[in-house]
Amino acid sequence: MAEASEQLILDRVPLGSTSIRISPLGIGTWQWGDRMFWNYGQGEFNDADLRAGFRAAVAAGINFFDTAEVYGSGRSETLLGEFMRSDNPPPASPLVVATKFMPYPWRLSRKELVKALRHSLKRLGLDHVDLYQVHQPIPPLPPETWAAGLADALGEGLVRAVGVSNYSEDWMRRTQAVRAKDKQRTCPALRRPLAPEIRAPQPPG
């Protein structure tokens, strides 16, 4: 059983329809730097604990790490960047980093997405991320605005793939429609069809 579990972690699967290869098990980093929900730095765990967890995950063959600009108000991205730079020896396979954009109500144009991405890249110490997602839908702007912003990020070479998180079926379809119309800039992660389990049930008849 242990050998089977180890092999599962060492295997690599495609991220959506992209050529990016990730471990089936990834590490989410919401807790990293978050004091409000997870009591970071308040006696329960600290940077040393997180660094040890990062190194243990990499040593086990996990190469996929997911963070977001809102996790710890950016602290999660900063810590992940620090750990990646100081990891010694380097991981056996390249690490895959995903982060997310929060469409706060005061962000009122697609340019805000690329601006936020650049801040995330600075905290991570990277020139691009492998996956960039809209974290969740927040009014007042429609999904088409942020889909266009994701296409801008791809066009500037700041991301390898893009996606969305916590979207409804309708918003996912509208986001995909923007990609379909943009023949010059493709959005790899958005090519994946909607999974059957999230499709809304159709009325009888």
Cα–Cα distance for residue pair 32/65, rounded to 1 Å:
12
Task: Report the pLDDT value the prediction gives residue 193, as an integer from 0 to 100.
Answer: 53
Inter-CA distances, 155 with 1, 159, 186, Å: 45, 9, 9
**Rounded Cα distance, 140 and 102, in Å:** 13
Q: Is 131 helix (H, G, I), strand (E, B) or coil?
A: strand
d(CA 67, CA 64): 10
Tokens 């006696």: give the residue.
Answer: 43
pLDDT for residue 198 = 45
Establish whether 71 is a catalytic residue. yes
pLDDT of amino acid 115: 98
What tens-digit pLDDT sequence spans the chain (205 residues)? 455 545 556 789 999 889 999 999 999 999 999 998 898 988 888 999 999 999 999 999 999 999 999 999 999 999 999 999 987 666 667 899 999 999 999 999 999 999 999 999 999 999 999 999 999 999 999 999 999 999 999 999 999 999 999 999 999 999 988 877 765 555 556 555 555 544 444 444 4
Which domains are seen in the chain, by residue range? 12-191 (3.20.20.100)
Write the Ramachandran bin of 178: left for phi over 0, alpha for psi from -120 to 50, otherwise beta: alpha
The whole-number pLDDT of residue 42 equals 87
86: phi then psi, degrees, rounded to nearest 5? -95, 0
Catalytic position from the list 40, 71, 132, 167: 71
| pTM of the predicted model as reported, rounded to 2 decimal places | 0.85
